Structure 1
Amino acid sequence: MKTNTLFNNFLKASLLVFVLAFSACTEDDGSKFTPGQDGFFIVNEGAWGNANTSLSYFDKATLTVTNNLFETNTGRPLGDQAQSMTVFNDLGYIVVQNSSKLEVISTLDYSSVATISEGLSSPTYFLGISANKGYVSDWGPDGVTSSIKIIDLTTNTITDSISTGAGTNQMVLVDNMVYAANSGGWGYDNTVVVIDTETDEIIKTIEVGDNPSTLAVDKNENVWVTGNGLTDYVNAENSTPAFLAKIDSENNTVELKINAPETGIGPSRLNIDSEGKTLVFKYKSGISTAPIEVTSVSDFTEIIAADQFTSLYGFGIDKSENHIIAGDAPDFTNPGSIKRYELNGTFIDQYTVGIGPNGIAY
């Protein structure tokens, strides 16, 4: 009996080795895109109104960039002012704000899967909720009356809408709750709304500070927020500084808020490292970091100075390697570049991309 058991175990082990070996061969033929591991997409925003937005792809194996990826593979231009891109379930969701649409592509062969435009006015970000449901934040036709559109991902149609606030921007998912930042759009707001994805209803509205915009979730599932503050060009005394705040997701209260020492210097463009321990953000036109134990501006550490860029625009974190991918946009007429850095700010390399690189997706 013992001999038979050993023999059966040997057969099972041999079969497992064969299956793993076969899987490795079939998945390593270049046809399967592994987000982050194989490479990442670069969203080139382009100039508002010029319809010169584009998509690039960085291949880690060859250390090369392919530009105009969308147009080359679909035979048509991407549109006007791409705000963001999210990879979800082997599909890339590209939000093209001034063209009022969401382009869906395959990450396997870059072919067009769908174009969602009916019901969208000024979309900004996409967030996958489940296999058949996604959210898209939308500023609305006036840039103020914003909402989150609920998308059926099986039919690629909008099924419903959630009224949110002014200029709804980034969204993050914590368990079954979505946190959405109301950046103000063409107006003003100071809130983050919390949405129960099972009912698609707002369960709480949290006041965090003037014009919150970007979000990140740390290892403790706290939600971090950066806000642009308020600039009053008529009455300067009414202006408020940009800020960094932390929301405790257990009770949905603001646990910490750090104001910048003066207006117009950040923090903004918030990201977080792969371990959820280090905040990475734009500050004073360069890039700084702070631990999630941060308590004041004195805990900010500049790792990449502003003089390393012609003009730092957007950036993201390639979490497969913890590399900072910074977009340098000299203007909105000529091609920009991406610059790769270690998390400590050590420069790696740079590549030419499209006009106005504002972020990455993988």
Structure 2
Amino acid sequence: MKQNLWLPVCLYLAGILLIAACRKERDWTLPPQNAEKDTTSTGFYFLNEGGWGYNNATLDYFDTHSGVYERDVFTKANPDAVLGLGDTGNDMGVYGSKLYVVMNWSKKIEILDARTARRIKVLTDQTHKAIENARSITFANGFAYLSSYTTSEKGMVLEIDTATLNVTRTVEVGRQPDELTVAGNKLYVANSGGYSPANLERTVSVIDLSAFKVIKAISVAPNLRRLKKDGNGFLYICPWGTTGKLYVVDTKTDRLADSINVMVEDFTIVRDTAYIYGTDYGGGQHAYTRVDLKNKKVIPGSFISDGTKITMPYGIAVDPNNGSIYIADARNYSEAGDLYCFNAYGKLKSTIWKTGIIPGHIAFYNRNGSPGR
């Protein structure tokens, strides 16, 4: 008798839980399942690359104060944009009051009002041929600098005036340039040469910003991609894919100064610490490592301290205000991904289920207050 009574009750309760779960999954206006309010963070834009050739890149926004994750804010703010955000979102950044979104396969730069996500201007390859393969963007002294290329042999950097939103100067660099950054009065560009596997590039181009001319090519390693700076005059560079070294260039001498033995595919730098992830594709394992940049030493242990498993890490960012660590999970590259948030001690705080397809880029910005970093 007791078994007969408990069976329908259990089935009834299971049905209620399943319906509730499905409602929460479908209702994208609800906050993430276990998001936490955070009054010390700035909030951020989140760019989902989308599948190459599918025109399904999207732009989201996470308000860390309310815990609300808003999907596809570009389409909502720009209903007249017939093709949406576009194809293959490769990079983005906030500078001043504007958000710049680099759309690689759509061959354009979307320039948006950072507070509303409304379109201000679009720079395309039809007006600026060098935007044909736009890659990465950085900012300094009232200008945006964009890496791009039109052929397998000709890499370019474009200078964009952030007041007039016009391209003011261009300069030729190495083949297939990727990430870039400004240090002092010089712009550094990682050249990959990725379309020429038999003759890969291995240089960082150094551009004098006053003359806007290349003054040096620093030999580092083949197929360079990631390039970031610390606050002490050093650049940190790694090639495409996971490698076993993070290369160090001294911007005072413009020479390769050191290398750090660490498995690295992507990384971010906050103050004097690099947060790095790498993937062992043979064994399917991921490593999450910190490096003390003052001493150029790997900090023992994983910065994910609670054993959380991520299927396919594809982007990383650290909130400079509270140390929260965000890691994007591209999962299988064809379905919606996830975004994990860990506190500064590596404990999982929250998970945003079902971002866009191939999530990967974060730009901190508080839409309700002052700009993020």
TM band (smaller chain): 0.7 to 0.9
1:88 and 2:95 are equivalent in the alignment: yes
Is the 8 Å Cα contact of residues 290 and 301 (structure 1) preserved in structure 2?
no
1:68 and 2:72 are equivalent in the alignment: yes
Alpha-carbon distance between aligned partners in 2 of 1:159 and 1:219, rounded to the nearest angstrom: 28
Amino acid aligned to 1:175: G
Is the 8 Å Cα contact of residues 286 and 312 (structure 1) preserved in structure 2?
no
Instruction: Please name the residue that 2:357 is paired with.
Output: 355
Is the 8 Å Cα contact of residues 308 and 348 (structure 2) preserved in structure 1?
no
Residue-by-residue CA offset, 1:195-217 (whole Å, 9 max, x unaligned) = 12121111221111112211222
Shift of 1:156: 2.2
Residue-by-residue CA offset, 1:168-211 (whole Å, 9 max, x unaligned) = 11111112211111122323211111112121111221111112
Instruction: Please name the residue that 1:292 is paired with.
Output: 293
1:309 and 2:319 are equivalent in the alignment: no
Provide structure 1 residue ranges, at least 5 long, that are not aligned to the other structure. Answer: 1-35, 231-240, 261-265
Amino acid aligned to 2:248: K
Shift of 1:68: 0.5
Q: Which of 132, 154, 160 is the matching residue for 1:145?
A: 154
Amino acid aligned to 2:332: D
What pairs up with 1:247-286 in 2 under 5 angstroms?
A: 247-259=249-261, 266-273=263-270, 276-284=271-279, 285-286=286-287
Alpha-carbon distance between aligned partners in 1 of 2:273 and 2:336, rounded to the nearest angstrom: 31
Provide structure 2 residue ranges, at least 5 long, that are not aligned to the other structure. Answer: 1-39, 280-285, 365-373
Alpha-carbon distance between aligned partners in 2 of 1:145 and 1:314, rounded to the nearest angstrom: 28
Is the 8 Å Cα contact of residues 209 and 229 (structure 1) preserved in structure 2?
no
Q: Secondary structure at the match of 2:232?
A: coil
Alpha-carbon distance between aligned partners in 1 of 2:149 and 2:339, rounded to the nearest angstrom: 28
Query: What is the TM-score normalised by the length of structure 1?
Result: 0.79
Alpha-carbon distance between aligned partners in 1 of 2:330 and 2:347, rounded to the nearest angstrom: 20
Instruction: Please name the residue that 2:32 is paired with.
Output: none
Q: Which moved more, 1:306-315 or 1:161-170?
A: 306-315
Q: Secondary structure at the match of 1:72?
A: helix
Flag the structure with more relative contact order, 1 or 2, with Cα contacts below 8 A and sequence separation at least 6. 2
Residue-by-residue CA offset, 1:260-318 (whole Å, 9 max, x unaligned) = 5xxxxx41212112xx211111123332111114557x656422389611211112222
Is the 8 Å Cα contact of residues 169 and 212 (structure 2) preserved in structure 1?
no
Shift of 1:158: 2.2
Residue-by-residue CA offset, 1:310-337 (whole Å, 9 max, x unaligned) = 2111122221222211101112332111
What pairs up with 1:210-221 in 2 under 5 angstroms?
A: 210-221=222-233
Q: Secondary structure at the match of 1:99?
A: coil
Alpha-carbon distance between aligned partners in 1 of 2:208 and 2:349, rounded to the nearest angstrom: 41
Amino acid aligned to 1:271: T
Alpha-carbon distance between aligned partners in 2 of 1:204 and 1:104, rounded to the nearest angstrom: 31
Alpha-carbon distance between aligned partners in 2 of 1:212 and 1:242, rounded to the nearest angstrom: 13
Is the 8 Å Cα contact of residues 85 and 125 (structure 1) preserved in structure 2?
yes
Q: Secondary structure at the match of 2:147?
A: strand
Alpha-carbon distance between aligned partners in 2 of 1:287 and 1:259, rounded to the nearest angstrom: 14
1:113 and 2:116 are equivalent in the alignment: no
Amino acid aligned to 1:247: V
Q: CA RMSD in A?
A: 2.1
Pair 228,301 (structure 1): closer, same or farther in 2 beyond 3 Å: farther
Instruction: Please name the residue that 1:124 is paired with.
Output: 135
Query: What is the TM-score normalised by the length of structure 2?
Result: 0.77
Pair 322,140 (structure 1): closer, same or farther in 2 beyond 3 Å: farther
Q: Which of 210, 213, 217 is the matching residue for 1:201?
A: 213
Is the 8 Å Cα contact of residues 129 and 197 (structure 1) preserved in structure 2?
no
Q: Which moved more, 1:299-308 or 1:39-48?
A: 299-308
Is the 8 Å Cα contact of residues 95 and 102 (structure 1) preserved in structure 2?
yes
Alpha-carbon distance between aligned partners in 2 of 1:169 and 1:310, rounded to the nearest angstrom: 26
Amino acid aligned to 1:59: D
Instruction: Please name the residue that 1:38 is paired with.
Output: 42
Amino acid aligned to 2:277: K
Alpha-carbon distance between aligned partners in 1 of 2:90 and 2:139, rounded to the nearest angstrom: 16
Q: Which moved more, 1:206-215 or 1:52-61?
A: 206-215
1:185 and 2:194 are equivalent in the alignment: yes
Pair 53,225 (structure 1): closer, same or farther in 2 beyond 3 Å: same
Identity %: 23
What pairs up with 1:24-35 in 2 under 5 angstroms?
A: none
Amino acid aligned to 1:228: W
Q: Secondary structure at the match of 1:198?
A: coil
1:223 and 2:235 are equivalent in the alignment: yes
